[in-house]
Chain A
Amino acid sequence: MRPIGINRDMMETLAAGNHEVFQRVFSMFQPKVHAFAFGLIKNATDADDITQMVFIKLWTNRAKLSGVENLDSYIFTITKNTVLNFIAQRRLPELDIDALRNAATTGATPQEQIEASDLKLLIDMVVEQMPQQRQAVYRLSREEGLSNDEIAQQLGIQKKTVENHLNLALGEIREMLKILIFVLFGWGQELFK
């Protein structure tokens, strides 16, 4: 989204405190700021608050705008920091333990650990979106290590159904990650301990 209509002269007048330019900047960027905040925070009221904070910060520090080359980048930076600060202030302390546990793979470099953790998170997000039975089948197979027979028995469904669910589930994950299934299997052994 090109910020049409905001040139360097207007940035200067905005830095000097021009309200009309500010209103134009507001009209142009508010939807983007709000959408970005909402997508990450998932709460409309919080997104409103964050949007408000961003524009208040923008206005309060308007003098800095004289030195700004790219308004879009500048507003992105303010928004990103506001969103991250917002998240940081709200987090619960217990969650750090989870983060530590995920990095438990021995012998792996920090890079590999982060990637392994990321991959698990990504897969979990995809699995979460699956319909209930498929989710259940997937988790029993990959996380609990049950055989297809055992799963069929536990859930009271046909073995063929279990196989179908697994195929679909893995297919969805693969689609998401765009990597070959046997690589996933290789990682799978490692990750789902």
Chain B
Amino acid sequence: MSRYIKHIVRYFFDHNTSAETTQRVHERLLNGGSDVDDALRDLWDTCEGQANDKPAAQRQWLKLAAMWVLPVVMVTSAIWFYAQANKKAKLYSEVVFMHQFTAYGERSKIILPDSSEVWLNGGSSLIYPSRFVSAERNVCLTGEAFFKVKKDSKRPFTVDVNKMKLKVLGTTFNVFSYPDNPQVMATLETGKLQINVDNQKKPYLLKPNDQLVMDTKTGEVEMRHVNAKDYSVWRVPAMYFEETKLIYALQQIERAYNVKIHVQNSRYNNQTIRAHFNADESIEGIMAVLKMLIPQLNYEIDGNDIFIK
């Protein structure tokens, strides 16, 4: 039991130290016993969650102040949000933040405070304020959503997703940004869409039927021209795969049908498929079609679990 461990822990916590010193302290923590536990407990008791936080640079998270309340529809899923206190947040203190979450297999529609409409696909989450009070109408999205934004030339409408910020005045577009998929896609149906990508100075300007695809792993951005309507087909529950890798198609099937797909054989993960499934297609029907496209693929359906062998 050392008299100094509390000082070490406290000092370390409050200061930036060199890599070597940090490692020494870490080693000390790991070698410690109950004295380390006590020191850490004291540290914990003083944490208010304000002092040493720094915003994570690469992520677009909505900033909340401690006094806000979130009316919630939250579901067990791998999608979590991190909130950090921020000076700007005090401006928003009289506004309540709304959080709409759809589970896998569900879809929902939201009317925003400015009458804009948003359709949320399964496994998605949208955070938006009860009133748009700032110069921008800003929302945060994880997952997939189709936006029909009411025109307001005085206040641009912005959507924050992983690594991108989208900006419109009045328009309809689809955004795709799931955490388990390195691609982030924005597809414009009507109007004009401006996209700012993290770490890139020049914004991208999209015209109707333009699509911007970003690979968040490599940072590569690609602009394509597509039939935009094809990318919001999910609003009518049905699935559309065009040159889609099997692994991503399986993820979408999981979300749409609320099943768990266990990929025991990843041989075919990167194989691309092209298929269009209607709303009333059964999961058996879908798997049968996949087998037709990839004959060597073997699968087994066991209730809500599907095994790819």
Contact = CB atoms under 8 A, between A and B. Distances in A.
Contact of B2 (A52, A80, A118): A118
Best-surrounded residue of A40, A80, A95, A96 (most CB of chain B within 10 A): A40
B53 interface: yes
A88 B74 contact: no
Interface residues of A, number: 53
Interface stretch (B26-34, B209-217, B274-282): B26-34
A51 B30 contact: no
Interface in B69-86: 70, 72-76, 78, 80, 82-85
A126 B83 contact: no
Interface string B19-38: 00111111111110000010
Secondary structure dominating the interface of A: helix
A54 B1 CA distance: 28
A87 interface: yes
Interface string A46-62: 00100110011001000
Interface in A34-78: 34-36, 38-40, 42, 44-45, 48, 51-52, 55-56, 59, 76
A98 B24 CA distance: 9
B202 interface: no
Question: Interface residues of B toward A: which range?
Answer: 35 or more
Contacts of A155: none
B51 A95 contact: no
A129 B40 CA distance: 22
Given A48-B59, A55-B80, A125 B11 contact: yes
Contact of B48 (A1, A19, A176): A1
Secondary structure dominating the interface of B: loop
A44 B11 contact: no
A22 interface: yes
Contacts of B23: 91-92, 95
Given A31-B66, A38-B53, A40-B43, 19 more contacts: A31-B50, A31-B84, A32-B44, A34-B49, A34-B84, A38-B52, A39-B43, A42-B16, A44-B54, A44-B56, A44-B57, A56-B78, A87-B29, A91-B23, A91-B27, A121-B8, A126-B11, A128-B18, A177-B4
Interface of A: 1, 19-20, 22-23, 26-27, 30-36, 38-40, 42, 44-45, 48, 51-52, 55-56, 59, 76, 79-80, 84, 87-88, 91-92, 95-96, 98-99, 111, 114-115, 117-119, 121-122, 124-126, 128-129, 176-177
16 contacts: A1-B47, A19-B73, A19-B74, A23-B70, A23-B72, A30-B49, A30-B83, A36-B47, A40-B13, A42-B22, A80-B40, A80-B41, A84-B29, A114-B2, A117-B28, A176-B11
